[in-house]
Amino acid sequence: MDLLSSKRFVSITFAILLILNIALLGTLWWQNKQPSDTTDIAESRSKAQKKDSFFERKLKLSDEQSKQFSVLRQQHFQGTLPALVTLSGLKHELVKEAFDPEPDTLKVRALSRRIGTIQAYIEYRQAWHFNNLAGVCSPEQRDSLQQVLVRVAAKPIKMKRKLLLKRIRFTPLKERQDSVSATSAESEPEKQTETPSQ
């Protein structure tokens, strides 16, 4: 009886292995039949063309204008990339310092100022990049380009609107600075009165 049950076990195991081998060979054959490399390259090219076609569609750019836009975008990216890398490193340092048990306020302030300076430089370069793009456009295309860029620049306003809808108080920077200076002015006399009494 053990021999019969072992024959049954061996034949069932053999059948399962045979089915798995056939499935594996079928999968390998199907993968080799599909040209995955050429489809990946074609997909990446079509994505790049879609990015270019956005401006072509919105602004109705000619082929020459599209080429000039592409060159200007490359130049802008290459010129701004070092500042973006530096900005990322400074933000990393700022977060690291913020999670220190006793953060150095002078270091945090210095990092924040450097981040602000670099961000201002990036915005300055971006404004000139927009100016260069506008120089390639006709007067009608400039109006469309300006509308597109205003929509892109207005994204923080949309975020602010979402925050307001969620009833999160959003204090503008000027008000925040005024309240911080008022708070620090109020707290300083208290510190001075506490020191003599001790």
Which tens digit of pLDDT belongs to each residue from 101-112? 898 989 999 999
Does residue 102 fall inside a structural domain? yes
Does residue 189 fall inside a structural domain? no
**Residue range of the domain that includes 95:** 59-138
pLDDT at 20: 86
Give Cβ neighbours of residue 144 (< 8 Å, ≥ 6 apart).
Answer: 58, 59
Does residue 168 fall inside a structural domain? no
Give Cβ neighbours of residue 149 (< 8 Å, ≥ 6 apart).
Answer: 130
Report the C-alpha gap between 186 and 175 in whole angstroms. Answer: 16
| pTM of the predicted protein model | 0.53
Count up the domains in the chain and report the number: 1
Report the C-alpha gap between 51 and 42 in whole angstroms. Answer: 14
Residues in the chain: 198
- 92 or 39: which carries more pLDDT confidence? 92
Does residue 145 fall inside a structural domain? no
Which tens digit of pLDDT belongs to each residue from 29-75? 887 776 655 555 556 555 555 555 677 777 888 888 888 888 998 99
pLDDT at 116: 93
Does residue 86 fall inside a structural domain? yes
Does residue 122 fall inside a structural domain? yes
Does residue 112 fall inside a structural domain? yes
Does residue 154 fall inside a structural domain? no
pLDDT at 158: 58
- CATH code of residue 81: 1.20.120.1490
